[in-house]
């Protein structure tokens, strides 16, 4: 994972000259630098694991760091920087339900559309039409579509350990059932 | 992550001359058996031997101890950077001069709003004016000055004005942290952010960071200002040498930081509850033994994300973030590993048409560092926000302390 680097060395010079005393909470900025497992997508600026070939947030293909260096050196490899890459007009394969990075295959009539990122950019319009809550809070898995013909298979991410999701249904119109937190035991204590 | 002590946050005393309504440690009276001067100086020696580079003195209010500047001088003489976090109410020109002479390097003054907004949170009328005056006194004595603020529904509407103030007062840094329900803050439910408020909070923080940078001030997101949203690079990446790419790396408690309570109890982080997180007492064991051997300080040293649960367990960033700030998760849910104050999480829920709301179920014991229990409710996000910055909770009529003590 990310290597630890002395945070003090990374402070802005002015801050260093004026001494530290910047870390109110004990931890101090837990900031990681070079050789991190994460990199920044040049398209959406979200952090992406270097092992991922596409950004899970905006679906832009990602360029490996070495390739980016070679390109910038002017050697003209075919791999382009992600921000300059043409839109990938192909569908992605189904992945397992446990995948943390998943790109849903486009419906057949949108076969030319770019792959839809699982995370995606946040919606601009905050108001969301009230609708039945999903049966499960798990990420939508890419159902195996007979029409999906992957050309560039994506690696299957390592699954997270199963620590239990404690998922319950959130019922429309009724009292929401807690998804997280300790299960209700006694009625809440009355406030004085 | 390496385990190498760098930063110590030391509650020198729990005595305090403010009455902050969001105080997690319920500061006010000194603890029953706080370390004496000789014991404190021995702690300084042990910290230096352990390789600590910086010691931040907090409270309560550290300057209320008669030996305050003695401890400051010992820290500086031992080759460590000595800093302080203060409410500033009692910092006069004379005290600022003594602090400078003793070797204090930097002082962070706590300011949670402008004027009455600050006074309400600090529980003392006139505390805002006192804090601003403290900044002036310290700067005039040549002490580097920074600011720190609570992020909550009261302070949020005034963040721009606060930045203007800090720039005008020559602050070189501004650290912000979310108010969480520990201690007295647990009784202020209407002050606390709901997770869906983060959709407003983070764009504003990024904007403040950019504006501050232009003015020579660095905005530091506290470790419970989480995580991995679209502004992570703007907030944390900007703090790296290259100016980009940096990100939150997980709880640092017991990694590079250590917290000391005034009676000698040792934790991995000063914010953590006493119960369950104290690894020992300097009166009974050496600091080195506690640091290297106490299980209560070692929980964050493992790379295994096995303690994650709820939404954090299935998060894309789980292996790096590991549930974010342990303190925040624990004071909400009574256990670490699931942190509701996360921008990425709020965005993910919104993408699914959902939002998370936190409901208090019980209060704490009433002792320092206590907390209650909350329930997380995930419900349809119908876009109807219960709070807007323009409708901050009305300031309560409080019986504020108005006479000098």
Contact B137, B89 (CB under 8 A): no
- List, as one string, the DSSP characters of A54-78: B-TTT--B---HHHHHHHHTT---S
Helix (H) or strand (E) holding B161: helix B159-168
Mean pLDDT within A102-125: 41
Residue A184 has pLDDT above 60, yes or no: no
**A14, A25, A160: residue with CB nearest B223:** A25
Asked if B248 is an interface residue toward chain A (Cβ–Cβ < 8 A), one would say yes
Q: CA of B44 to nearest chain A CA: how many angstroms apart?
A: 17
The winner for highest mean pLDDT among A154-163, B169-178, B248-257 is: B169-178
Residue A122 has pLDDT above 60, yes or no: no
Residues of chain A contacting B311 with CB distance shorter than 8 Å: 137, 180
Closest CA in chain B for residue A126: B383
Token pair 């309400």 in the structure block, residue: B120
Structure tokens at B256: 């590079």
Between B193 and A108, name the one with better pLDDT.
Answer: B193
Residue A142 has pLDDT above 70, yes or no: no
Q: Do B173 and A163 touch (CB under 8 A)?
A: no
Kindly report whether the peptide bond that precedes residue A123 is cis, defined as omega within 30 degrees of 0. Answer: no
Asked if B240 is an interface residue toward chain A (Cβ–Cβ < 8 A), one would say yes
Over residues A144-180, the pLDDT tens digits come to: 333 334 344 434 433 333 333 333 333 444 444 444 4
**A23, A123, A137: residue with CB nearest B350:** A123
**B9, B105, B246: residue with CB nearest A26:** B9
Most B CBs within 10 Å: which of A7, A175, A180, A191, as the mutation test of the B interface?
A180
The predicted pLDDT at position B243 comes to 76
Residues 10-49 on B with a CB inside 8 Å of A are none
Residues of chain A contacting B148 with CB distance shorter than 8 Å: 24
Q: Do B233 and A21 touch (CB under 8 A)?
A: no
Question: Cβ contacts of residue A136 below 8 Å, gap of 6+?
Answer: A167
Among residues of chain B, what percentage have pLDDT more than 90? 85
The predicted pLDDT at position B244 comes to 77
The predicted pLDDT at position B217 comes to 96
Asked if A37 is an interface residue toward chain B (Cβ–Cβ < 8 A), one would say yes
Q: What DSSP designation does B175 have?
A: E
Query: How far apart, in whole angstroms, are the C-alpha atoms of residue B346 and residue B357?
Result: 10
**A26, A44, A123: residue with CB nearest B259:** A26
Helix (H) or strand (E) holding B311: helix B310-313
Structure tokens at B374: 């909350």
First to last CA, chain B: 46
- Average pLDDT of every residue of chain B: 91
Q: Do A14 and B216 touch (CB under 8 A)?
A: yes
Residues 61-90 on A with a CB inside 8 Å of B are none
Over residues B345-395, the pLDDT tens digits come to: 999 999 999 999 999 999 999 999 999 999 999 999 987 666 777 655 545
Most A CBs within 10 Å: which of B247, B261, B355, B376, as the mutation test of the A interface?
B247
Query: How far apart, in whole angstroms, are the C-alpha atoms of residue B164 and residue A3?
Result: 36
Q: CA of B33 to nearest chain A CA: how many angstroms apart?
A: 23
Beta strands (DSSP E) in chain A are 38-40, 47-49, 103-104, 116-117
């Amino acid at each position: 994972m990310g290597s630890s680097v002395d945070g003090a060395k990374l402070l802005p010079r002015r801050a260093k000259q004026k001494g530290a005393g910047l870390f109110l909470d004990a931890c101090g900025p837990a900031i990681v630098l070079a050789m991190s497992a994460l990199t920044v997508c040049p398209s959406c600026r979200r952090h992406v694991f270097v092992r991922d070939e596409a950004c899970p947030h905006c679906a832009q293909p990602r360029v490996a760091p070495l390739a980016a260096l070679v390109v910038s050196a002017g050697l003209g490899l075919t791999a382009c920087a992600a921000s300059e890459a043409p839109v990938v007009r192909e569908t992605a394969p189904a992945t397992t339900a446990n995948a943390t990075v998943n790109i849903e295959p486009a419906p057949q009539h949108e076969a030319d559309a770019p792959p839809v990122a699982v995370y995606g950019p946040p919606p601009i319009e905050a108001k969301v039409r009230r609708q039945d809550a999903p049966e499960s809070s798990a990420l939508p898995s890419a159902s195996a579509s007979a029409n999906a013909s992957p050309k560039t298979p994506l690696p299957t991410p390592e699954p997270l350990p199963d620590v239990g999701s404690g998922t319950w249904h959130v019922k429309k119109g009724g009292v929401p059932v807690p998804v997280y937190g300790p299960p209700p035991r006694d009625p809440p204590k009355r406030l004085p | 992550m390496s385990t190498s002590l760098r930063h110590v946050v030391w509650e020198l005393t729990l005595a305090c001359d403010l009455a902050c309504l969001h105080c997690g440690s319920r500061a006010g009276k000194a603890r029953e058996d706080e370390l004496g001067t000789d014991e404190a100086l021995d702690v300084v020696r042990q910290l230096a031997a352990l390789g600590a580079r910086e010691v931040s003195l907090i409270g309560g209010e550290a300057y209320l101890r008669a030996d305050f500047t003695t401890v400051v001088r010992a820290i500086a003489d031992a080759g460590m950077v000595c800093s302080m976090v203060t409410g500033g109410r009692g910092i006069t020109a004379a005290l600022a001069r003594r602090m400078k002479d003793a070797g204090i390097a930097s002082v962070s003054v706590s300011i949670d709003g402008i004027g009455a907004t600050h006074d309400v949170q600090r529980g003392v009328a006139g505390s805002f004016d006192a804090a601003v005056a403290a900044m002036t006194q310290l700067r005039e004595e040549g002490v580097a000055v920074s600011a720190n603020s609570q992020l909550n529904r009261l302070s949020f509407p005034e963040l721009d004005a606060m930045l203007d103030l800090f720039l005008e007062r020559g602050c070189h840094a501004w650290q912000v942290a979310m108010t969480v329900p520990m201690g007295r803050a647990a009784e202020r439910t209407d002050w606390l952010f709901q997770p869906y408020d983060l959709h407003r909070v983070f764009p504003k923080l990024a904007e403040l960071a950019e504006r501050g940078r232009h003015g020579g001030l660095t905005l530091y997101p506290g470790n419970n200002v989480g995580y991995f949203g679209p502004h992570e690079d703007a907030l944390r990446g900007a703090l790296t040498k290259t100016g980009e790419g940096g990100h939150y790396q997980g709880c640092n408690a017991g990694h590079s930081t250590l917290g000391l309570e005034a009676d000698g109890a040792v934790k991995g982080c000063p914010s953590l509850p006493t119960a369950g997180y104290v690894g020992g007492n300097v009166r009974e064991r050496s600091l080195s033994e506690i640091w290297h051997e106490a299980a209560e300080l070692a929980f964050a040293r493992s790379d295994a994300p096995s303690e994650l649960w709820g939404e954090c367990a299935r998060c894309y960033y789980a292996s790096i973030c590991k549930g974010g700030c342990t303190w925040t998760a624990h004071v909400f849910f009574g256990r670490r590993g699931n942190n509701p104050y996360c921008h990425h999480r709020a965005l993910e829920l919104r993408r699914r048409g959902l939002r998370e709301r936190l409901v208090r179920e019980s209060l704490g014991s009433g002792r320092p560092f206590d907390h209650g229990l909350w329930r997380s409710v995930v419900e349809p996000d119908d876009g109807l926000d219960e709070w807007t910055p323009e409708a901050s909770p009305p300031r309560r009529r409080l019986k504020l302390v108005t006479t000098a003590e």
